[in-house]
Amino acid sequence: MEDVKGEPGVIELKNVSKLYDGSNEVALEKMSLEVGQGEFLFLVGPSGAGKSTLIKLLFREQLPTEGVINFENKDITKYRKRDILEYRRRIGMIFQDYKLIKQKTVFENVAFALEVLGHSPMSIQKKVTEALDKVGLSHKATSFPRELSGGEQQRVGVARAIVKDPVLILADEPTGNLDRDNALQLMQLLEKINDEGTTMIIATHAWDLVDRMQKRVISLAGGKLKRDEKGGYSDE
């Protein structure tokens, strides 16, 4: 496996399997994977291939049935409540449905990620302004999510993820609700953020974007790893 930036692994999966309660089908089977610092990685595959399950495991929203998931050489499956909070504070998450808080303005939605961390108002002001600037939404700071287009809302989601300078960003179908142009813009934005050193793991169906970006692609089918190489969506 090619370790793109040659840094030590941020994420390491060893023989990870996931079986949902009351289901005989394995969502993930004996999956092993290493993701280096600063890598840009696509998780692709048909629906039910295990992409979302993998993202949920990495976000520590679910626990694997067996196996080890290391983050910076510590097994996150062994984390206690306190550790999970700390872990989530160090990683950014981008959702298909944006998950913005409707009652909060764009600025407040982004600021929120830092308020949780107990940053001072001054530091919040500075960092949020920078993050909104980076995603090109400074002029919408006082708008509410309902006043924004889908593409803009997702960029707020990205700003919220990057504002705390995360080591790793997990994205579950981030372009799923966006049109082609907005989707492409978003991917370019994520690539720019990756260039600054943030590791990116993106689960997606958007084969055209994956083809275009030419990054490392992990292809899953039926819960198993089918392909792991740099290139396009399919192996032809």
> Which residues contact other proteins by CB under 8 A?
59, 61, 84-89, 93, 99-103, 112-113, 115-121, 160
**Identity (one letter) of the amino acid at 36?**
G
If the CB atoms of residues 56 and 216 are measured against other proteins, the closer one turns out to be: 56
If the CB atoms of residues 8 and 121 are measured against other proteins, the closer one turns out to be: 121
Read off the DSSP letter of residue 8. Answer: P
User: Could you give the CA distance from residue 179 to residue 152 in angstroms, rounded to a whole number?
Assistant: 12
Name the minimum Å distance from CB 130 to other proteins.
18
If the CB atoms of residues 100 and 162 are measured against other proteins, the closer one turns out to be: 100
**Identity (one letter) of the amino acid at 55?**
I
User: Could you give the CA distance from residue 216 to residue 150 in angstroms, rounded to a whole number?
Assistant: 27
If the CB atoms of residues 1 and 101 are measured against other proteins, the closer one turns out to be: 101
If the CB atoms of residues 35 and 93 are measured against other proteins, the closer one turns out to be: 93
Name the minimum Å distance from CB 163 to other proteins.
10
Name the minimum Å distance from CB 83 to other proteins.
11
List all residues 6 or more positions away from 82 whose beta carbon is below 8 Å from its beta carbon.
Answer: none
> What order do you get walking across the sheet with 91-94 strand by strand?
91-94, 168-172, 199-203, 40-44, 215-221, 224-231
Name the minimum Å distance from CB 46 to other proteins.
26
* Tally of helices (H runs) and strands (E runs) in the chain: 7, 10
Q: In the beta sheet, which residues pair with residue 12?
A: 34, 70
Name the minimum Å distance from CB 8 to other proteins.
24
